[in-house]
Structure 1
Amino acid sequence: MSRADEIFIANCRDILENGVWDTDREVRPRWEDGAPAHTIKKFCIVNRYDLREEFPILTIRRTYLKSAIDEILWIWQKKSNNIHDLSSHIWDSWADGSGSIGKAYGYQLGKKYEFREGVFDQVDKVLYDLKHTPASRRIIAHMYNVEDLKDMHLYPCAYSMTFNVSGNTLNGILNQRSQDMLAASNWNVVQYSVLLMMFARAAGLEAGELVHVVADAHIYDRHVPIVEKIIRNPQYPAPRLIVDETVKDFYRFTKNSFRLENYQYTDLDIKIPVAI
């Protein structure tokens, strides 16, 4: 069975059995019909995925690899904050009439800063440091810019990546302030696993561990029966992720540079309601 399945099931069971409901409080998110979207949550879950052992994608439900990669490239490679640069419609609810989501996500990664070594945006500084100072303990990209929060249509959920090189292995820590377990948990794990592989390839390193830290891991009230159904689905072995061996430049990767071999999964035949 997939290690990603085991982790997801354990996290969800822990939340459902030991989590805390916020039904005694006023909450910001609303369902489409205007009802408050309450959650049951656990504070601070930490999961580790060794990318040398298997690719951490769920089999108990399908995670759409190409769409997940398209979004992570939109943020980290295109450094865009406009949904017109994105193939899917997952950000439509947060975009204005021009397609902008404000000074969020890709906008932050694309801002130029002056460093001792020169002027870089955050992505190019990570690439520079991995190649020139891999022993550094300061290789971090961060999107939670307090100065610009007022101009973001949604505060970043996945807000920082810390990169650390041990020998010839690149490891990373993904920090999230908030995680919708049903809609986005494995989606983010898949995205940042691929991102770690991209940075590793560009720096001539091997991708190692992705550590995923979530401050507020929650299941929405209307998601509970869907989650309970999914965690009872059949589990299959993890598929193999095939990465185009000819691509070594971070900016040459596309969603078609990646494909899954032997991906078995159970289709989710229920539409997931999204709280805004």
Structure 2
Amino acid sequence: MKQYLDLCKHVLETGSQKGDRTGTGTLSVFGYQMRYDLQKGFPLMTTKKTAFRLIVSELLWFLKGDTNVRTLVEEKNPIWDEWAFEKWVNSEEYTGPDMTDFGRRAPLDEEFRSKYEVEMAHFKKRLLDDSSFAETYGDLGPVYGKQWRSWHTGSAQSEKQPIDQIAQLIEGLKNNPDSRRHIVTAWNPSEIEDMALPPCHALFQFYVADGKLSCQLYQRSADIFIGVPFNIASYALLVHLIALETGLIPGEFIHTLGDAHIYSNHINQVNEQLTREPRPLPTLRINAEGKSIFDLTTQDIVLENYDPHPKIKAPIAV
């Protein structure tokens, strides 16, 4: 994962100090690209343990067109918990302790963190136990799954049928592999304001040459320490899945970043990671016999020979 470590060094050495939506502050650069040859191993971070199961369940959630965090809670996947929780604690129905700015307060204040953990546990239990509550407070709006599988242009075009971009992508790759239009976009201006979080990985394009399938992602906003390792592995997995569905061989994943940033409260963790030597990449095995990629479960996708350095904890900026 030398490419990723080089990115970390580049931002630490050349990044500009910038404010951000969360109020945390960042070191940031604009415009950066990394390339991963998927024939040389699966690009999951080895300089810190990264939860592959969470990456798998999130990607399958996207591919099924789901936008409700309840599905992820059932899978014990906390990736989107904070955004759904924020919707709940900001609502008029919430009557518990003040959770304002919980993302920054929880790591710094032990007493507050205890309250936050209790409220989050109650929230997740209610999502699982109460379908009506989950429908209201578990739904994240028209985030990735909705845009990938049911793109809609908004009320002005309400008569038009939604577009299943993933189905169109697969059909195009099978029937016209040399096309330059194998594009899926999650950036839908007509629905941005309705999303819990506007898409960070905004647009991707597939490319076929010599029987190999490659993908380039444009990511408008890249949280280098927490988000980017997940994004690399998620899109590498997506290439493997789409290749499987179209009878192609995985080629490259090209990761193009817009605002690439390290949050100010992640700098110590990044420096710790840079002291670690990368280890051999793991390999991927997909048990898909007789199944479409849309029918796969987390148990069907297996990582082998993963031997990372220990996990490094860091707060998420919400």
TM-score, length of structure 2 as denominator length: 0.77
Q: Out of 52, 59, 64, which is 2:46 matched to?
A: 59
> Is the CA contact 2:150–2:162 (under 8 Å) kept in the aligned structure 1?
no
> Is the CA contact 2:223–2:262 (under 8 Å) kept in the aligned structure 1?
yes
1:109 maps to 148
1:119 to partner: Cα distance: 7.6
Mapped to 2, the partners of 1:148 and 1:120 lie a distance apart of 14
Mapped to 1, the partners of 2:243 and 2:291 lie a distance apart of 9
* Partner SS for 1:146: coil
Q: Out of 73, 78, 82, which is 1:89 matched to?
A: 78
Mapped to 1, the partners of 2:265 and 2:220 lie a distance apart of 21
Aligned length: 258
Overall identity of the aligned pairs, in %: 32
Q: Out of 20, 29, 46, which is 2:16 matched to?
A: 20
1:243 to partner: Cα distance: 2.3
Residue 116 of structure 2 is aligned to residue 74 of structure 1 = no
Q: 1:20 is matched by which residue type in structure 2?
A: S
Mapped to 1, the partners of 2:288 and 2:43 lie a distance apart of 20
> Is the CA contact 2:216–2:255 (under 8 Å) kept in the aligned structure 1?
yes
> Is the CA contact 1:58–1:265 (under 8 Å) kept in the aligned structure 2?
yes
Q: 2:68 is matched by which residue type in structure 1?
A: N
The structure richer in helix per residue is: 2
After superposition, residues 160-199 of structure 1 pair within 5 angstroms as 160-199=203-242
Between Structure 1 and Structure 2, whose CA radius of gyration is higher?
Answer: 2
Mapped to 1, the partners of 2:260 and 2:151 lie a distance apart of 32
Q: 1:151 is matched by which residue type in structure 2?
A: D
Q: Deviations over 1:74-129 (max 9, x none)?
A: 11x21111101212122122224520111211111221679xxx985111111111
Q: Out of 261, 264, 272, which is 2:304 matched to?
A: 261
Q: Out of 227, 233, 238, which is 2:281 matched to?
A: 238
Q: 2:150 is matched by which residue type in structure 1?
A: K
- Is there any run of 5+ residues in structure 2 with no aligned partner, and where? 89-135, 154-160
2:112 maps to none
1:33 maps to none
> Is the CA contact 1:50–1:209 (under 8 Å) kept in the aligned structure 2?
yes
2:317 maps to 275
Q: 2:221 is matched by which residue type in structure 1?
A: S
Mapped to 2, the partners of 1:161 and 1:229 lie a distance apart of 31
Mapped to 2, the partners of 1:45 and 1:107 lie a distance apart of 28
After superposition, residues 210-249 of structure 1 pair within 5 angstroms as 210-244=253-287, 246=289, 249=292
Residue 32 of structure 2 is aligned to residue 8 of structure 1 = no
The structure richer in strand per residue is: 1
* Partner SS for 2:253: strand
- State the Cα RMSD in Å: 1.8
Segment of structure 1 superposing worse, 158-167 or 195-204:
158-167
* Partner SS for 1:242: strand
Q: Deviations over 1:125-155 (max 9, x none)?
A: 1111111111211011101000111111211
Q: 2:37 is matched by which residue type in structure 1?
A: D
> Is the CA contact 1:112–1:121 (under 8 Å) kept in the aligned structure 2?
yes
After superposition, residues 108-147 of structure 1 pair within 5 angstroms as 108-111=147-150, 120-147=163-190
Mapped to 1, the partners of 2:228 and 2:201 lie a distance apart of 11
Mapped to 1, the partners of 2:37 and 2:301 lie a distance apart of 18
Segment of structure 1 superposing worse, 53-62 or 243-252:
243-252
1:252 to partner: Cα distance: 2.5
Mapped to 1, the partners of 2:66 and 2:268 lie a distance apart of 35
- Is there any run of 5+ residues in structure 1 with no aligned partner, and where? 30-35
TM-score, length of structure 1 as denominator length: 0.88
